[in-house]
Structure 1
Amino acid sequence: MVSDGMSTGTLNMADLLLQRKEGRRSNWLKLYEQNLVHRGLVDTSSANALVTDSAAGSSAWGGGVKVPNGSLNVNADGSFNKPILQKFQSAGKSVGCVTSVPIAHATPAGFSVNSASRGSMDDIAKQYLDLKFDVLLGAGKENFSSEKRKDKADLFDGFKKAGYDVVNSRDELRSVESSKKPLLGAFIESALPFALDASSDRELAAKIPSLAEMTDAAIKKLSKNPKGFVMQVEGGKVDWAAHSNDVGGLLYDQIAFDEALKVAIDFAQKDKETLVIFTSDHGNANPGLFGSAANFDKIQTFKNTNDWILRGITHRFTPAQVIERVEAAQGYAIKKEEAERLLTFYVAPKEEGLYNPYKLPFKQLGEIQSAYTSVSWAGTGHSADFVELGAFGPGSELIKPYLKNSDLHQIMLTAAQVRV
């Protein structure tokens, strides 16, 4: 289980938010507190950089070898490392991936395929069809749709012809719960909505399953195999929010991941034969609380993310309209000059950054927001920080206090008693 881009501060603040808002700990920290897991710190470097990207990070687990940034289980010399889900599939186990971002995105792909470029998501989706994995759930409809793919291939139809249940909504996912067919669900283009925005939009919440719901559906499907199963679950929007310095997006998607973690742990506690590993592929933006608890507590009543705020603003907005939109979404009123600063980016868009095709001023709003929440950021990119790892269940004793990310490949194979 991968909370993509989860810096230690993200884990800490999500736990603090839950304690102060709901009087409970996060499931992750509760497992630590009750001494139910083995823990370690993980070196996340890639073959060619101290700061990894998600492709190389997931490939280190998936292929057992550190590879260059941008590649998926492909070494610098062009040779391939066999991905771990293919190894487990060959051993007779059911396999699958669940994510809140495109199912052909870097993190699920790192467990699954070989590709010289993480950006070749149409090809990665085609590889999934050829591999015939048992469960694929997430977003990225455009990589399967004949209307969006460059080659105009209809992969949705291809999966149906291959015997899959293909679902497009939360209700459809529930309707195939008892089916014995393999399962594909790509519920929306690009990525699932941020958890905070979905919670404030009844239509979105009704149509699109949460990460926890997808995790539950996948476990029910995969666990029917008497030879066992292996799956990867990714909270990918944690990373996207960190890149955008979006504290509401970040913490509520971390909580959404934490709810998915509970689903997995609950199953493992009953099953007693399942190892659950939960970690991150790298830190991102290194956020932290640097100020008053009263400011931090404002996040408890947030209704929408910075993403929602900025996507709804146009160059025709007045500063007063910007102030009104921020206050409606997050409960505080920014200053007129702060609103004017944001509007300059709509007159002449110039902001860059990952997952920001419309060049919205995410960094600038994050800086403004810091004064009202006391949460600050070190940057907008990945970090070289060691990341937290916890492991629950049989095989968790294989986890050492310090590991390299590539060590996890063999640990998983050893725990499942699979020799390749």
Structure 2
Amino acid sequence: MKRRDFFTNSAAGLAIGPLSLFGKQNGHNTLSKVKQGAKNIIFMVSDGMSTGTLNMADLLLKRKHGRESSWMKLYTEQTGHRAFMETSSSNALVTDSAAGSSAWGGGKKVPNGNLNVNADGSFNKPILQKFKEAGKSVGCVTSVTITHATPAGFCINNKSRGDESEIAAQYLDLKFDVMMGGGAEFFLTEKRKDKTDLFGAYEKAGYNVARDRNAMIALSDVSKPILGIFCEGALPYSLDTFENSELQKAVPSLAEMTSKTLELVSKNKKGFAIQIEGGKVDWAAHSNDAGGLLYDQIAFDEAIKVALDFAAKDKETLVIITTDHGNANPGLFGGDKQFDLLQKFKHTNNWILGDLKEIPSPSQLIERIEFAQGYAIKTAEAERLLALFGSKNEHGLYITNKPLFRELASIQTRYTGIGWAGMDHSADYVELAMFGPGSEHLKPFVKNTDLHNWMLDMTGTAKV
């Protein structure tokens, strides 16, 4: 079965009827003080998702497949509850993912770059450690490296989000039930600076280690913690897997990882708490890559469907869906015909520019872009791009040549109608949606830190 066909229908059959979108205001509190309402938590993060990303992914699904996104269906059918959330860190209006995830994970705002470490050096205990101590199964699933800032913010304390090798080692003794994503280089002897065989250490400590999609599918033993690492670096962009059968065989989709994780952790009678991250949405936004952005948002939405279907049947699971911050603020400014070009995309900008072995001629670059995305740029536009090849004056996050990707995105606006406000995080208030027991108490506006105690309160977990 092709990955693009893994889920073909929007979230359906939700057992909970229409609910009021907002609770009543209660003084200055942004979330109600409520009694325990849920046994399980599924916390879903589309990292770096601006509102325009959510909107355009929904439009693309409607125009290409005739269905709305599972996220938007919560709103249109009024089966979920919605709020805005502010996203600042302790030292900036514009947060990074480390501080953003730590606000949820540790319950306090910390400086950008820190993982549950305050400005004075003190630690805030991560929420998955609290849930684990309460007897629940816990874990993280991501489309980027499992050691990246967003999963790490629910798991550990570290002064530097960038020390992913150390974070990989920190996970070992925690023995969280399921950890899945990319980042093999932080576990491999030949890739680590200290030459530690971290995969071997995990196996010696009693973990089941899965290194490809088939091994993940075969997982069934819940008596041992599970580490699933499926590639070096982040998982491939969803769009780039559609035409690549080898990638589809080797690397699971976010929806497949979510489904397997729920199958495993739901066997715990005391419940579970997991984080699911669509991390490549943020990476695509940083490079102004419309195809990468929207198809990875759709891949995240397929994981949402898995979570909502589980929660609708289970009736004891609270699903929280949000983002840590906006990024690049993309929007559709062109017409229908321009936007419909996205339906024909086969590859991302990262594939167009990042997989080149040598600098092409203008005609070769034009041909490559037309093959990948279905339109032919002009020779003058190709020449502008080629003039930026090898530029080293400005490096972008997750890309090696910021001016090159920025120029390609600018050219593409003429063909797709999609424009960008920048290439960095924004201070926007962001979407927050909830489904399941307790979601009816959600207020219209919350602070990011409020969600920490909210999850503990909803599950009756002690605030240790």
**TM-score range normalised by the length of the shorter chain:** over 0.9
Q: CA deviation at 1:361?
A: 1.6
Q: Which residue of 1 aligns with 2:85?
A: 42
1:97-125 Cα distance to aligned partner (Å, 9 max, x none): 00000000000000010000101111111
Contact 1:165 1:184 in 2 (8 A): yes
Contact 2:116 2:124 in 1 (8 A): yes
> Which segment is superposed worse, 395-404 or 312-321?
312-321
Contact 2:390 2:401 in 1 (8 A): no
Task: Determine which structure has the larger helix proportion and give its number.
Answer: 1
* Structure 2 counterpart of 1:49, one-letter code: A
Q: Which residue of 2 aligns with 1:377?
A: 420
Q: CA deviation at 1:179?
A: 5.1
Q: CA deviation at 1:384?
A: 0.3
Q: Which runs of 5+ in 1 are unaligned?
A: none
Q: CA deviation at 1:349?
A: 4.0
Q: CA deviation at 1:404?
A: 0.3
> Which SS does the other structure have where 1:41 is aligned?
strand
* Structure 1 counterpart of 2:269, one-letter code: P
Q: Which residue of 1 aligns with 2:311?
A: 268
How far apart, CA to CA, are the structure 2 residues paired with 1:339 and 1:80?
51
Contact 1:349 1:360 in 2 (8 A): no
Contact 2:142 2:181 in 1 (8 A): yes
Task: Note if 1:215 corresponds to 2:278.
Answer: no
Partner residue of 2:145 out of 102, 105, 130: 102
How far apart, CA to CA, are the structure 1 residues paired with 2:417 and 2:287?
16
Q: CA deviation at 1:363?
A: 1.0
How far apart, CA to CA, are the structure 2 residues paired with 1:316 and 1:67?
43
Q: Which residue of 1 aligns with 2:119?
A: 76
Task: Note if 1:239 corresponds to 2:282.
Answer: yes
How far apart, CA to CA, are the structure 1 residues paired with 2:245 and 2:181?
19
Partner residue of 2:361 out of 309, 315, 318: 318
TM-score (normalizing by structure 2): 0.89
> Which SS does the other structure have where 2:383 is aligned?
helix
Q: Which residue of 2 aligns with 1:399?
A: 442
Q: Which residue of 1 aligns with 2:24?
A: none
Pairs aligned (count) = 420
Partner residue of 1:305 out of 333, 348, 367: 348
How far apart, CA to CA, are the structure 2 residues paired with 1:360 and 1:172?
40
CA 1:66–1:179 in 2, change beyond 3 Å: closer, same or farther? closer
* Cα-Cα RMSD: 1.1
1:315-354 → structure 2 map (5 Å cutoff): 315-354=358-397
Q: CA deviation at 1:358?
A: 5.9
Q: Percent identity, please.
A: 64
> Which SS does the other structure have where 1:231 is aligned?
strand
> Which segment is superposed worse, 67-76 or 395-404?
395-404
How far apart, CA to CA, are the structure 2 residues paired with 1:55 and 1:143?
18
* Structure 2 counterpart of 1:102, one-letter code: T
Q: CA deviation at 1:150?
A: 1.2
TM-score (normalizing by structure 1): 0.98
> Which SS does the other structure have where 1:389 is aligned?
strand
> Which SS does the other structure have where 2:45 is aligned?
coil
Task: Note if 1:30 corresponds to 2:76.
Answer: no
1:241-272 Cα distance to aligned partner (Å, 9 max, x none): 00000000000000000000110111111110
> Which SS does the other structure have where 2:179 is aligned?
strand
Contact 2:391 2:401 in 1 (8 A): no
Moved segments of 4+, more than 4 Å: none
Q: CA deviation at 1:342?
A: 1.1
* Structure 2 counterpart of 1:149, one-letter code: R
* Structure 2 counterpart of 1:326, one-letter code: I
* Structure 1 counterpart of 2:353, one-letter code: L
* Structure 2 counterpart of 1:343, one-letter code: L
Q: Which residue of 1 aligns with 2:336?
A: 293
> Which SS does the other structure have where 1:97 is aligned?
strand
Q: Which residue of 1 aligns with 2:211?
A: 168
1:80-99 Cα distance to aligned partner (Å, 9 max, x none): 00000000011010100000
Task: Note if 1:198 corresponds to 2:237.
Answer: no
Q: Which residue of 2 aligns with 1:252?
A: 295
Partner residue of 1:92 out of 95, 114, 135: 135
How far apart, CA to CA, are the structure 1 residues paired with 2:390 and 2:76?
50
Q: Which runs of 5+ in 2 are unaligned?
A: 1-43
> Which segment is superposed worse, 46-55 or 156-165?
156-165
> Which SS does the other structure have where 1:2 is aligned?
strand
